[in-house]
Structure 1
Amino acid sequence: MSDSINQGRRNLFSRRKSNVQRPPWVNPYIEFTDICTRCDKCIKACETQIIKRGDGGFPEIRFSEAECTFCQQCVTACEEPIFDLQQAAPWQISASIKDNCLTNSGVWCQSCKDACDERAISFVMAVGQVPKPAINTDACTGCGACVSPCPSDSITISKPD
């Protein structure tokens, strides 16, 4: 058999890594979709309603309207062994700013900074330019508070590269 056929078969049976953000405190050593029963209890328990039913009916986080308060209600509601509260952080994600940020067009905007309780977003002054955002990834909790107030949809929350 040719190498391209073998590679195609390996890809067919290998699990794809998803870019979907799961709820906080999901155990990183499990395959989420193998254990989650899609019962929607975490979705109903979420105080900010950012846990939504995603592809295949599995819960995923959407920061478009609100942020995660880390209330742990999703953890408490779940009856499956999905969550691990012993982790140092609820998840390994943080904010990043895309090129379409208004500051790159010379518009003075600091809505993301104003929304960040952790003060993970600062603005760097430069002569003759509007201040540009900078994210301290060590301080960023990945809560998503900066996402919905951004008027240009310039902020993403994801795992660092």
Structure 2
Amino acid sequence: MLRRGLLRGRVRAVAPALRPPWALAEADFLARCSRCDACVAACPTGIVVTGEGGFPTVDFSRGECTFCGDCVPPCTPRALSRPAADAPPWSLTARIGDGCLALKGVECRVCGEACGEGAIRFRPRIGGVALAELDASRCTGCGACHAPCPVRAISLDMNTKLAMEEGA
């Protein structure tokens, strides 16, 4: 539980905020970020926004990350740091939740159409609508599938396997 949550009467644990691409580990990010909003102003897609406490977060309901890297250079405290041009921005992976319309028998393929990487495909079923399947190995975590989903059944979560590999 966060101290701020305790003081505000929030006793439930809060999921960590999604930070901009190439953010340092959470503790280091919070220690270095000056909350200047330079990364927010630099984001061409407008997905980097000011979140709780004035720290930048990513809001995929506003669009997708193109991984352009424009948010990194203006970060003078180096809370965002891209060590190499091919460095992965984060270890996020899309997750299709139980609210998916196809699971409820409604034909919907919006997420698959929005996914430029082809990570979301649809498996036909006899006597029912095709079900969405995610190929996590192709998912970049860009969030293109999140905003178009009419029921917000897609979330982007930390891929713990990738996070452990990056930390090793």
Contact 2:93 2:157 in 1 (8 A): yes
Contact 2:115 2:145 in 1 (8 A): yes
Q: CA deviation at 1:29?
A: 7.6
Residue 84 of structure 1 aligns to which amino acid in structure 2?
S
Match of residue 43 from structure 2: 46
Other structure's SS at 1:94 match = strand
Contact 1:48 1:66 in 2 (8 A): yes
Match of residue 63 from structure 1: 60
Other structure's SS at 1:73 match = coil
Q: Between Structure 1 and Structure 2, whose CA radius of gyration is higher? A: 1
Q: CA deviation at 1:30?
A: 5.3
Match of residue 125 from structure 1: 124
Residues 18/32 of structure 1: CA separation in 2 closer, same or farther (3 Å cut): farther
1:96-142 CA-partner distances (Å, limit 9, x unpaired) = 01101100111110000000001111111111111111111111110
* Residue 74 (1) aligns with residue 71 (2): yes
Contact 1:30 1:82 in 2 (8 A): no
Residue 113 of structure 2 aligns to which amino acid in structure 1?
D
Residue 150 of structure 2 aligns to which amino acid in structure 1?
P
1:62-121 CA-partner distances (Å, limit 9, x unpaired) = 000210011111001111122332363110001001101100111110000000001111
- TM norm structure 1: 0.85
1:127-161 CA-partner distances (Å, limit 9, x unpaired) = 11111111111111100000111011111011135
Identity %: 41
Q: CA deviation at 1:27?
A: 2.5
Give the gaps of 5 or more residues in structure 1.
1-11
Q: More deviation in 47-56 or 76-85?
A: 76-85
RMSD: 1.8
Give the gaps of 5 or more residues in structure 2.
1-5, 7-12, 161-168
- TM norm structure 2: 0.81
